[in-house]
Amino acid sequence: MLLTVLFTRCAQITPLTGGKKDTDAPRLLKAEPKQASLNFNAKTVVLEFNEFIVLKDLSNQLIITPAMNQLPDIEANGKTVIIKFAEPLQANTTYKMAFGNAITDLRENNPFQDFEYIFSTGERIDSLTLAGSVTKAFDNRPADNTLVSLYDAQAADSLIYREKPLYICKTDASGKFRFNYLPDRAFKLIAVKDVNKNLMYDGPDEMIAFYDAPVKPDSAIYDLKLFKETPAKTFIRKTYATEYGKAQIIYNKPYVDYTSADGKGIFAYSPNPTKDTLTIYYRDMFDTARVVVRYKDRKADTASIRIMSEESYKKLVQKKSLKYFIATNVSSGSLEYYRFPQISINYPALSGKIDPDRIKLTEWKDSMLNQVAVHLTNPQNDLLNFSLESKLSPATAYTLTLEKGLFTDNAGRTSDSTSYNFKTTSPEDYAQLSLKLMFPKKENYIVQLLNDKDQVIRMEFKSFALTETAEQKFDFQNLKPGNYFIKVIEDANNNGRFDDGDFISHKQPERIYYNANPIKLLADWEIENEWKVQ
């Protein structure tokens, strides 16, 4: 008998990994014409790489200098990039085609970083450089991804609105820029936050920076301040009505110089802090509100604003939907020991329609409830904001009750009842800062104390007398613990605010000084700090 024995072996199945992941960028093997060619006259360039490649985000990544009116046709074909020029090249000119990270391998998208193809239509490659940085004028922060342009030094200023620059580059994450392969000639130096990517400046819709004088490629570092121009002309951009009795007029620019707003049925108006929005208050008027706004130095505007119909108004009255909405500085449950409670309303209240007896303030002390006298005032004759002056104790619990009908008007609007529980802070909760500043010159200044969220916590104004020294002291009381920063605005025109520049009139934005070193404040501490403003 023949016995056959079959042996079998179990195999362990493992997935195929495909080998080590490719992390290498494509390599340029050959360029035809070759890199840095002189007397270049080709109409087509072929770049050959070591692997299959693709082009990504070419429209944003590619920068050609000098700029071309018509961009070349560029395509990836297997392992090559083919460039076909669509217009004649300038004579005796060095060209740079900066691809950024547009060239990547097909498989893993590894970019051939910052690849540049250089050639000259003349006898030599221009080799000069020009470098600098762009920061935002208002806060001195780096302006990244900003277009920096060079125009001929003799070109009219208006050219930046209608023609592309000769040379361009972009700022990096730190706001720095650098031009390479420049000729020995003078240029206008301009930076633009090119929102629509047309390589030109589109006026106040974009931000701009410029150097005051012509520049030449050299070892100097040019610093530019980016700002948003204020439109030269003032006009009403939009009008709308949010609720019965209130309408808004919105302007195209801040700090409009209006002197009055009136019309049939209009009894009050109020601008917002930046004076680019005007709120109009009216009564006994329906369908359309016609407002005449007058200004200091120009012709008046007449605005027709669509408002609520009488039928819709009557429905609101029937439903008792017209309301005074109240906001207060104690809604968070806490009130600074040195402040009074304050309330604001959404619609003006006239004195004959306010009932102060409906304000009740109760103090909780030693488990006892004590009524606290309250005096309702509006210190700035503001019909929307009121102060509740009273004797408050530090570190004490209170209840503020605003009873229904505190505010009423003839249109049927009324306020509902509401209560707030809050506790006053104590002096030991705060820090005190004594700040000594050494100013660079005797000028008008705005000194701002900022928190770590860039919010202005306190602000002081300083104008120097002839006999004063450049060293000045500022005391800031009752500051919450935390990190603070100092910002100083050189207020050249003494109007109490920061002013942007103007390109056509060659006016730079007002200068900003910023102390990036935090001042750490602790509760119940008094801190002294010095800063040489520069």
**pLDDT at residue 8, as a whole number:** 38
User: Is the pLDDT confidence value at 466 over 90?
Assistant: no
Looking at residue 268, what is its pLDDT?
92
> What does the pLDDT average to over 428-437?
97
Nearest residue to 95 via CA among 166, 171, 162:
166
pLDDT of 14 over the 80 cut:
no
Q: What is the band of 17 on the pLDDT scale with cuts at 50, 70, 90?
A: low
CA 477 to chain centre: 29
Can you give the three-state secondary structure of 92-157, one letter per residue? CCEEEEECCCCEEECCCCCECCCCEEEEECCCCCCCEEEEEEEEECCCCCECCCCEEEEEECCCCC
**189-204 residue pLDDT tens:** 999 999 998 899 999 8
According to the model, what pLDDT value does residue 465 have? 87
pLDDT digits (tens, 9 = 90+) for 222-261: 999 999 999 989 999 999 998 999 999 999 999 999 999 9
Cβ partners under 8 Å of residue 396, min gap 6: 363, 364, 365, 423, 424
Q: Are 460 and 436 in contact (CB under 8 A)?
A: no
**Residue with structure tokens 């009524």?**
371
Most trustworthy range by pLDDT among 99-108, 459-468, 475-484? 475-484
Residues 418-432 have a mean pLDDT of 97
- The per-residue pLDDT for 18 is 53
- Residue 194 DSSP code: -
Confidence of residue 422 (pLDDT cuts 50, 70, 90): very high
The rounded mean pLDDT for the chain is 92
pLDDT of residue 114: 87
Can you read off the two tokens belonging to residue 265? 């049925």
CA 419 to chain centre: 38
Would the pTM count as exceeding 0.75? yes
Q: State the pLDDT confidence band at 19, using cuts at 50, 70 and 90.
A: low
- Counts of helices then strands in the chain (DSSP H, E): 3, 41
What single letter denotes the amino acid at residue 295?
A: Y
Which pLDDT belongs to residue 23? 79
Q: Provide mean pLDDT across the span 131-151.
A: 96
pLDDT score for 108: 86
> Taking residues 25-49, what's their average pLDDT?
95
Instruction: Find the range with the poorest average confidence among 141-150, 285-294, 309-318, 376-385.
Output: 376-385
> How many percent of the chain have pLDDT more than 90?
84
Rounded to whole angstroms, how far apart are CA atoms 164 and 346? 50
* 222 vs 131: CA distance, rounded Å: 6
pLDDT band at 1 (very low <50, low <70, confident <90, very high): very low
pLDDT at 415: 95
pLDDT band at 482 (very low <50, low <70, confident <90, very high): very high
Q: Which domains does the chain have, with CATH numbers?
A: 28-120 (2.60.40.1220), 128-228 (2.60.40.10), 236-318 (2.60.40), 323-428 (2.60.40.3710), 431-532 (2.60.40.10)
- Is pLDDT above 80 for 36? yes
Q: What is the pLDDT of residue 412?
A: 86
